[in-house]
Amino acid sequence: MEEVDPELLFSSFYSEVKAIEKRDSVLNSKEQIHRLTKPGSTYLNLNPYDVLLLPLESTVEEMRKQYRRLSILVHPDKNPDDRESAQKAFDILKKAIEMLEDPEQRARIQLIYEEAKSRTDKLIADKRKAQKKESGGKVTLLEDNPEY
């Protein structure tokens, strides 16, 4: 049996714990209520995937699970000191899950997302090409350098 270095094992364990802490740090009531109700959030909340903190590839089951997790955090009964904002955040989450549970709306959202992504990718590629052409190909773009 191969012997494992205890320091390496502890380091690995510690980094996993830190990653979990970082992931779960956004899962508190006040932060979620603020995220969903802060000024300007009306536009940010148009994307139900962003509202539920989900990737586009999520299954309906994953969406429902995340909705339950977040709705428990922002539920007005769990936040009596800020019931009005909690109710607003709760309603935003409810609207997002309703949109994603409807197959037609989900397909439309994914189509819009894919179209926006392809347009953005093309725009970025065109700008990079123009910048390289202007500089004679001598400029290294920061995004293209893996060290940054």
Of residues 26 and 74, the one with the higher pLDDT is 74
CA distance 41 to 36: 6
| 60 and 89 housed in the same domain | yes
| 110 and 123 housed in the same domain | yes
| 87 and 48 housed in the same domain | yes
Torsion of CA 109, 113, 114, 117, to 10 degrees: 170
Domain assignment of residue 16, yes or no: no
In tens, the pLDDT along 60-84 reads: 999 999 999 999 999 999 999 999 9
| 47 and 92 housed in the same domain | yes
Query: Which residue range forms the structural domain that includes residue 97?
Result: 24-101
| 83 and 108 housed in the same domain | no
Q: pTM, whole model, 2 decimals?
A: 0.69
Q: Which residues contact 72 (CB under 8 A, 6 or more apart)?
A: 78
Give the DSSP H/E element, type plus range, for residue 102.
none
